Amino acid sequence: MHTKRTLLALLLLALTMWQGHACTNILVTRGCTADGSTMITYAADSHTRYGQLRFHPGGTHPAGQMLSLYNYGSLRHQIDIPQAPLTYRVVGFINEHQFAMGETTWGGIEPLSKGNPQGIDYGNLIYLALQRARNCREAIHVMADLVETYGYADGGETFSLADPNEVWLFEITSKGTEKGAVWVARRVPEGYVSAHANQARITTFPQEPARFRKRGPHPAISSKHMEYINQPEVECVYSHDVITFAQKNGYAAYTGQPKHTDAQFSFADTYNPLTFSGLRACEARVYAIFNRIARGMQRYEAYAMGNPRAERLPLWVKPNTTLSTRDIMELMRDHYEGTPMDMTQDVGAGPFHCPYRWRPMEFEVDGKRYIHERAISTQQTGFSFVAQCRNWLPDPVGGILWFGVDDTYSTCYCPMFCAIDSVPLCFREGNGSMSQYSPTAAFWLFNRVSNFCYLRYDSMIVDVRACQHNLEEFFVDRVYRLDSTATPQQLTALSYQLANTMMQTWTELDHLLLMRYIDGNIKHMKDGRIETTPTGVVRSPQQPPYPDWFYRAIVNDHGDVLQVR
């Protein structure tokens, strides 16, 4: 086995990013999807993140009503702000207008990484934007106005924004003790795919004079600034001081040499300079995505593996072919297969090729420090989704949050329509927690299956993937045969029905895996059932041997005791 592929000796390495929340997003424009929809993905990875769907009913609110915000992470009270006159229904990370959001955290430089504690944190910024904006451009305006008015309580963050027509990247960081934030937002060009994974990705950006014009009032949008954002030719917007703030504080970094101009100002290099961990644990995940959909990506392999002097990954790529909903789901299921970082091929995968490494991610042997890889598919995912927005359908039918819990590789993405008026029990907030088991919670059922699979992974995952494939294909077919005139009540009923089908199917899978793989045996299957003789006796199970390299390791370690005399 090749131990050098996933272990790298390090002398100095900051690993704080790998120990906290770490997420992956993909952004897909209409021009590269098979059906013309836009899509974004999000994997919420944390050892304390529970898989559930928040629900906000939306509605009108009286003048003077205040909204209390509680920190997304600590749940401590943070700030009170005026409630918007009108808020929209939100299911998880998509609202009733088919506007969806995701994020990844990158922290950034000191002293900006902690934000201003009196402001609005990134989690609340997402939920406020979803409740108050109908599309990407309105959301950018909402978020810019909120952080300018109330301050920003977090460090560096990249948001993914999608509506039925556009997909945008929005990167932001605090100004430390100063009120407000600096940020830049770019529209992903039609026909391209972008991605981010806990590392700022926007370097230089188009800079044009802001064109202000009056526009009609909107219940969630201030008229103070950025009225020009609704002009379709505008594809990049940014805070007025994104460059000057960096310059006055000595943070500014540029891509050009030797003369520095504003056009050469790099947001990412200024507010989140690349480190080895930023490359190997973060940009490597983006590389894995691009490498699976676009030709010629091998030229960036050295960069992904930690060489900052190698050619840098582009912000977006044009895929070789159009991508289906299932294709996007599969992009979220990656362990660096087919690259030198492949987590299924080194000795750490064990005799059954398990592509997971238990934490901590860094370890020391004989005075040298090493790391495990950080792939997109990881055991500590709380939940993930593929948000799909379809502009040829009415909003209630067109917007779907394909939602799954636990590890992306072994989850099942179940469609939750943006118009539903409540959340199915298996995904409902409050049904179980990280400290409370619930037999009706999808999170605990899917964890039961995946954690059992880790024991004999290469055999058991085949059964899981077959079940996953059949169920997701059924869901996709059911969604695409849906009548475009379906009402919110019908969509709620369908979402409940499909969620219940998923839970029943996965419960049967859980039982089958236990019966088939108990005690290290593998029972024979026939027509989807454990095979028996004509008299009803279970056929003698297979008892596959360990691989030769594993036996050799046992002999090298303890062969003098085990040898047959």
Most confident of 111-115, 442-446, 534-538: 442-446
Q: Which residues of 496-505 are buried (b: 16+ CB within 10 A; e: fewer)?
A: bebbebbbeb
Q: In angstroms, what CA-CA distances link 8 with 108, 362, 370?
A: 24, 10, 5
| Whether 148 contacts 241, CB under 8 Å | no
| Whether 144 contacts 102, CB under 8 Å | no
Summarize the confidence of residues 108-136 as an average pLDDT. Answer: 93
Tell me what pLDDT residue 562 has.
85
Alpha-carbon gap, residue 425 to 441, rounded angstroms: 7
Amino acid identity, position 45:
D
| Whether 401 contacts 384, CB under 8 Å | no
- Which neighbouring-strand residues pair with 174? 181
Cα atoms in the 13 Å half-sphere on the side-chain side of 469:
7
Amino acid identity, position 534:
P
β-pairing, 236-238 with 178-187? Answer: antiparallel
Summarize the confidence of residues 197-215 as an average pLDDT. Answer: 74
Domain coordinates of the chain in residue numbers? 3-371, 529-562
| Whether 416 contacts 95, CB under 8 Å | no
How far the first Cα of the chain sits from its last, in Å, is 29
pLDDT digits (tens, 9 = 90+) for 82-106: 999 999 999 999 999 999 999 999 9
| Whether 282 contacts 106, CB under 8 Å | yes
Q: In angstroms, what CA-CA distances link 19 with 45, 77, 360?
A: 10, 25, 8
Tell me what pLDDT residue 226 has.
60
SS3 string of 178-200? EEEEEEEEEECCCCCEEEECCCC
Kind plus residue range of the DSSP H or E element containing 136: helix 136-150
Alpha-carbon gap, residue 42 to 199, rounded angstroms: 15
pLDDT-derived band of residue 158, with 50, 70 and 90 as boundaries?
Answer: very high
Check whether 422 has a pLDDT greater than 70.
yes
Q: Which residues, other chains included, contact 309 with Cβ-Cβ below 8 Å and sequence gap of 6+?
A: none
pLDDT-derived band of residue 216, with 50, 70 and 90 as boundaries?
Answer: very low
The tokens describing 510, both together, are 């859980």
Per-residue DSSP letter, 348: G
- Which neighbouring-strand residues pair with 457? none
| Whether 114 contacts 155, CB under 8 Å | yes
Of residues 490 and 15, more confidence is placed in: 490
